[in-house]
């Protein structure tokens, strides 16, 4: 794997750079997961190993590689193509965000808000806390079910009506969070 990764590192770097630039142009933050992308190499017959593709997917927060995007891009206005430079001919990204991807993006936004709160309270990495929240927004309640407690060192999440916490704006929706 290491040998393959080193051999393909210029491709990986370029694909990730083009992907991040594309997300910035489209105003799609990396914490918002996307469903699919495709990468066309400038070199004939280049086959990316699965572990190389996994690195690209992880860096760009995309679920899967789907080469069908290349053909679909001509007829689907939610698929955008971006030119590469040295090694990448074209990079395609499907910007369709279904309900599940939207909820995952809201959950990542909530995790980030909790991490900022932890930092503001001077909590150390590994120091566990309980999280209480209150919101009237059904999507945020669903997103809290996807909240990653391991990544945020939260040992329990509880919805508490009228909780006296920090009001957060998550994708234009309001939620109160308390650690």
pLDDT at 1 exceeding the cut of 60: no
pLDDT at 11 exceeding the cut of 90: no
**pTM of the shown model:** 0.83
Give the pLDDT score at 7: 66
C-alpha dist (Å) from residue 70 to 21, 101, 117: 19, 22, 42
Write out pLDDT tens, residues 97-107.
999 999 999 99
Q: How far apart are CA 158 and CA 176, in angstroms?
A: 12
pLDDT at 4 exceeding the cut of 60: no
Write out pLDDT tens, residues 41-76.
887 766 667 788 899 999 999 999 998 998 898 888
Are 36 and 64 within 8 A, CB to CB? yes
Q: How far apart are CA 116 and CA 73, in angstroms?
A: 38
CA–chain centroid gap for 78, Å, is: 17
Are 28 and 34 within 8 A, CB to CB? yes
Give me the torsion for CA of 44, 50, 54, 55, rounded to 10°: -60
Give the pLDDT score at 171: 86
Tell whether the torsion through CA atoms of 120, 142, 23 and 47 is positive or negative. positive
pLDDT at 120 exceeding the cut of 90: yes
Write out pLDDT tens, residues 125-148.
999 999 999 999 999 999 999 999
């Amino acid at each position: 794997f290491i040998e393959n990764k080193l051999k393909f590192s210029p491709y990986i770097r370029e694909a990730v750079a083009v992907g991040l630039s594309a997300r910035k142009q489209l105003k799609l933050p990396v914490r918002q997961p996307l469903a699919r992308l495709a990468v066309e190499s400038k070199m004939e017959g280049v086959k990316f190993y699965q572990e190389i593709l996994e690195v690209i997917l992880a860096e760009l927060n995309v679920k899967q590689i789907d080469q069908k995007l290349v053909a679909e891009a001509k007829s689907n206005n939610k698929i955008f193509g971006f030119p590469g430079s040295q090694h990448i001919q074209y990079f395609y990204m499907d910007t369709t965000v279904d309900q599940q991807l939207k909820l995952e993006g809201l959950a990542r936004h909530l995790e980030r808000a909790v991490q900022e709160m932890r930092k503001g309270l001077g909590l150390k990495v590994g120091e566990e806390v309980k999280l209480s929240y209150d919101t009237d927004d059904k999507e945020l309640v669903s997103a809290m079910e996807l909240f990653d407690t391991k990544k945020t060192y939260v040992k329990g999440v509880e919805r508490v009506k009228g909780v006296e916490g920090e009001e957060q704006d998550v994708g234009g929706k309001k939620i109160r969070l308390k650690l």
